[in-house]
């Protein structure tokens, strides 16, 4: 487990770059945290660290957004907050994304917990007075 203390949002890019460097073979990252904790903002920094030049937005209504990294490979960003049933994730083919070998960043993975890979990296964000404490574990 590794911890990051981010006193401001300006500290997130360095933390994100380090997370990618710490787990060079990891492709599935599950992000946990309360509403407004900064999950999407951290994913923007993770995508930037991978060389994504597309605009990174929360896929709250579409459930998944696809971006291209510097090599033209897809990076998938999921927001499962609006799922009412785990079966909805199966309906849009989440298993295919998770088994694709491409980066998958998943907000609200607890909404489809039985579908998440056991070996996925877990990122937990907590906020205290605008400062973020982030833990990374596998």
Q: pLDDT tens for residues 90-124? A: 999 999 999 999 999 999 999 999 999 999 999 99
Q: Report residue 57's pLDDT band, with 50, 70 and 90 as the boundaries.
A: confident
User: Rounded to an integer, what distance in angstroms lies between the CA atom of residue 14 and that of residue 20?
Assistant: 10
Q: Report residue 29's pLDDT band, with 50, 70 and 90 as the boundaries.
A: very high
Q: What average pLDDT does this structure show over 59-69?
A: 88
CATH 3.40.50.880 fits 27-133, yes or no: no
Q: What per-residue string of b and e applies to 2-40 under the rule 16 or more CB within 10 Å gives b?
A: eebebeeeebbbebbeebbeeeeeebbbbbbbeeebbbb
pLDDT at 61 over 80: no
pLDDT at 14 over 90: yes
Q: Give the predicted TM-score (pTM) of the model.
A: 0.94
Note the pLDDT of residue 58. 84
What confidence tens digit (pLDDT) does each residue in 71-95 have? 999 999 999 999 999 999 999 999 9
If one counts every other C-beta atom within 10 angstroms of the C-beta of residue 111, the result is 20
Cα–Cα distances in angstroms (integers) from residue 77 to residues 1, 91, 107, in the given order: 23, 17, 8
Q: pLDDT averaged over the chain? A: 94
> 50: which 2 tokens?
């991978």
Structural domain boundaries in the chain: 27-133
Percent of the chain scoring above 90 in pLDDT: 88
């Amino acid at each position: 487990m590794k911890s990051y203390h981010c006193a401001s949002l300006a500290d997130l890019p360095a933390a994100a770059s380090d997370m990618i460097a710490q787990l060079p073979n990891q492709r599935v990252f599950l992000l946990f945290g309360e509403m407004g904790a900064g999950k999407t903002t951290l994913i923007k920094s993770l995508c930037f660290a991978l060389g994504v030049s597309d605009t990174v937005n929360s896929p709250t209504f579409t459930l998944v957004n696809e971006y291209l990294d510097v090599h033209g490979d897809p990076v998938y960003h999921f927001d499962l907050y609006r799922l009412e049933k785990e079966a909805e994730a199966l309906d849009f083919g989440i298993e295919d994304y998770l088994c694709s070998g491409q980066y998958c960043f998943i907000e609200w993975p607890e909404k489809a917990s039985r579908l998440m890979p056991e070996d996925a990296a877990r990122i937990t964000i907590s906020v205290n007075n605008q400062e973020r404490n982030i833990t990374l574990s596998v």
